[in-house]
Amino acid sequence: MYFCKRNKQNKTMKKIIVRALLVFMAVSVSNLMHAQKTATQQQQQGGEVVITQPEFKGGSEALYKYILTNFEYPEEAAKRSVSGTAEVEFTVEKSGDVTNVGLLKGLDETVDEQIIRLLKAMPRWTPATMNGKPVRYKVSMPLTLKLSRNKNGARSSIGLEGSLNERY
């Protein structure tokens, strides 16, 4: 008699598992069909999505020149030989204006202030576009600052590597 009850319980449990799997499969297929439908609608509305990144007017060489020309290495930081890589971020608006300037990783309070001042004073960029229409775009990039000393005193150099990302 115990065997019969156990057998009925197993059959009931199998039915529950089969039903759960069927529901799961139905939901998965529904999600897949929705994703395919969305992709098809996007293709029908104009094909692929084309995104261009924002650009400093004149390109990366002009940006590098702007930074070298306008960055003022603080005396206190030079005395302490502050150098390293700062991680900066800002938003290039649809208009090309630079907003939301910030530091993800700073070096020194006085150097950080100069970096923020420099970025806030940047001229307009060519904005990012999505399918030809301007969009806001968050930019993050490292700025490497090196201080070298020679007989004539301290000299600074700045390395620039860009990583433009996070459209929104």
Is the pLDDT assigned to residue 17 strictly greater than 50? no
Whether the per-residue pLDDT at 8 is higher than 70: the answer is no
Tell me the whole-structure pTM to 2 decimals.
Answer: 0.62
- Residue 77 burial (C-beta neighbours within 10 Å; 0-12, 13-18, 19+): buried
- pLDDT for 35 equals 41
Q: Is the pLDDT of residue 10 over 80?
A: no
Q: What is the tens place of the pLDDT at every residue in 91-126?
A: 999 999 999 999 999 999 999 999 999 999 999 999
Identify the CA nearest to 83 among candidates 5, 4, 157.
157
**What is d(CA 134, CA 140) in angstroms, rounded to the nearest whole number?**
19
CB atoms within 10 A of CB 65: 12
